[in-house]
Chains A and B, each alone.
Chain A
Amino acid sequence: MTGLAAAAMAPLSMSPAALNLVLLLSAVLFGLGMIGFLIRRNMIIMFLCTELMFQGAALAMIAFGRMHMDLSGQVFVIFILTIAAAEAALALGLVVLLFRHRETLNAEAWSELRE
């Protein structure tokens, strides 16, 4: 605990190598989210995969903010959370609406854009 407190007191900048590690992780998360969005056919899971992409972006922002010792990165993650919450509310409302029409979560059931 004292070690953590000392680290919090004496700020070290993050080396570019460490930044690269975290950025690589965020790129992998983003890539996995995109693959998931493409391969899943369940509408809810597709939206869940976009949340995974949000996670990757948020991680990159926090890492850059840490590197530059600037808090704007963290503040932007708050906005990402806001957008994610708004998206979840709208998307899930839409999914429930679509589910009541066709009784399926399959996105391909809606590949023809007609009633």
Chain B
Amino acid sequence: MAPLLLYAICAAGAIGLYLMLRPGARSVKSIGALLGFAAVAYLGVRLALAADLSAGLGLRDFPFFVAIFAGVAVAAAGRMITHPRPVYCALYFVLVVVASAGLFLMLQAEFMAFALIIVYAGAILITYLFVLMLAQQAESEEDLRSLAEYDRVPREPATAVLVGLVLVAVLGDALFGRTAENTTRPGQPWPTVAVAEGVAREWAALDDMPRARNAVIEKLAPGYTEIVRNPMGDAITVRNGTAFVEIVTADGVQKTLELPDSARPGNTQRVGFVLVSSFPVSLELAGVILTMAMFGAVILARRQAELGDDRRRDAAARGPAGTLPNGSAEGGRP
């Protein structure tokens, strides 16, 4: 794709976003939303057409579901950053999370898709909603003017949109620019090496899970006496994407079994296996980070409680005239 066209599309999207942000008539904002969404959609459709659709893209049921999820994600993200009501922003972000969970499913990351919904939409977003409701003043349903001024008026929309435009344009140029032109041409051979390596890795993961492996072999050949290991020391030998295992049956005959494709460990099993076998230190560090964050949150809350106590004691010492029942604008100043 010509770089100039890419920049033009990005600029159209940026103008649309700016129109959405500008305080003005509703019609202008809808035109902006339409323009911004049309720019992103045009870019996506153009790229999808440039790709060799007949050969498949390795994305399940590609055109339909991916288009829907991508469209929902972009639209909800755009609405999220432009909506004046904070609670609606959080809800639109839930929509973004659900849409990207759908994309994760398309990309065969089933475990992460559901973990994303449970952890992000279920836990983190609910925390945000709690705090929003804790900190937000009551407002009337209809009147936008009852909203706080800092929610209605964006800060420096033109500069921010320009910065975002530059970022997306540079990233897009890296993806579809001159250097990437020949890798995106249709008819390019598939990276079959990556597939073969990936399949071999999946079988190797099964080999490292002795319980699961033995269960599979037991199912195929009940009553075998032992597994013959190959010269590499592995029980499972992978050839051309299929896996074999040599066993000795009860009669003392050596036999080669072909493992069925369904024996390959599923996504959740493999993610768990890689997490524990390849990143044990990172896993521990993640635990430490979570613990520290919990301590940090507790300490922040505790200091607040102590301040409140001090203030109450001061108020009591000053007498009934100077009582400050709860935290006021004066709070925290010496």
Contact B195 A13 (CB under 8 A): yes
Quote the shortest CB–CB distance from B116 to chain A (angstroms): 7
Report how far A24 CA is from B172 CA in the complex, Å: 7
Contact A20 B175 (CB under 8 A): yes
* Interface residue SS majority, chain B: helix
**Interface size of A by Cβ–Cβ distance < 8 Å?**
87
Residue of A7, A92, A102 with most partner-chain B CB within 10 A: A92
Report how far A100 CA is from B306 CA in the complex, Å: 13
Report how far A20 CA is from B51 CA in the complex, Å: 10
Q: Interface segment, B178-186, B224-232, B245-253?
A: B178-186
Report how far A85 CA is from B115 CA in the complex, Å: 13
Given contacts A12-B56, A25-B73, contact A88 B128 (CB under 8 A): yes
Report how far A94 CA is from B190 CA in the complex, Å: 49
Contact A67 B80 (CB under 8 A): no
Contact B300 A52 (CB under 8 A): no
Report how far A33 CA is from B171 CA in the complex, Å: 15
> In the complex, what residues of A have CB within 8 A of residue B51's CB?
15, 17-18, 20-21
Quote the shortest CB–CB distance from A74 to chain B (angstroms): 5
Proximity string of chain A (9-52) to chain B, C-beta cutoff 8 Å, 1 when within and 0 when not: 11111111110111111011111111110111110110111011
> In the complex, what residues of B have CB within 8 A of residue A112's CB?
none
Report how far A71 CA is from B198 CA in the complex, Å: 9
> In the complex, what residues of B have CB within 8 A of residue A81's CB?
115-116, 119-120
> In the complex, what residues of A have CB within 8 A of residue B153's CB?
41
Contact A39 B90 (CB under 8 A): no
Question: Which residues in chain B, 143-178, are within 8 Å of chain A measured between CB atoms?
Answer: 148-151, 153-157, 159-161, 163-165, 167-168, 171-172, 175-176
Contact A17 B57 (CB under 8 A): yes
Report how far A51 CA is from B124 CA in the complex, Å: 10
Quote the shortest CB–CB distance from B180 to chain A (angstroms): 7
> In the complex, what residues of A have CB within 8 A of residue B24's CB?
none
Q: Interface segment, B27-35, B42-50, B207-215?
A: B42-50
> In the complex, what residues of A have CB within 8 A of residue B222's CB?
none
In the complex formed, the residue of B with least CB distance to A14 is: B58
Decide yes or no whether B100 CB sits under 8 A from chain A: yes
Given contacts A18-B59, A115-B334, contact A82 B167 (CB under 8 A): no
Decide yes or no whether A113 CB sits under 8 A from chain B: no
> In the complex, what residues of B have CB within 8 A of residue A34's CB?
163-164, 167
Residue of A7, A23, A42 with most partner-chain B CB within 10 A: A42
Decide yes or no whether B104 CB sits under 8 A from chain A: yes
Contact B201 A69 (CB under 8 A): yes
In the complex formed, the residue of B with least CB distance to A7 is: B60
Q: Which residues of B contact A (CB under 8 A)?
A: 17, 21, 40, 43-44, 47-48, 50-52, 55-62, 66, 70, 73-74, 77-78, 80-81, 86, 89-90, 93, 96-97, 100, 103-104, 107-109, 111-112, 115-116, 119-120, 123-124, 127-128, 131-132, 134-136, 148-151, 153-157, 159-161, 163-165, 167-168, 171-172, 175-176, 180, 183-184, 186, 188, 190-192, 194-195, 197-199, 201, 261-262, 267, 270-271, 274-275, 278-279, 282, 286, 289-290, 292-294, 296-297, 300-301, 303-304, 327-329, 331-334
Can you sample 13 A-B contacts with CB below 8 Å? A13-B58, A13-B194, A15-B55, A21-B48, A23-B171, A29-B74, A36-B81, A51-B93, A74-B109, A75-B278, A86-B290, A96-B300, A115-B332
3 smallest CB-CB distances across A and B, nearest first, come from A69-B198, A17-B51, A36-B81
Starting from the known contacts A33-B77, A45-B86, A89-B296, 7 additional A-B residue pairs (CB-CB under 8 Å) come to: A18-B51, A31-B164, A32-B77, A33-B81, A45-B89, A89-B297, A96-B134
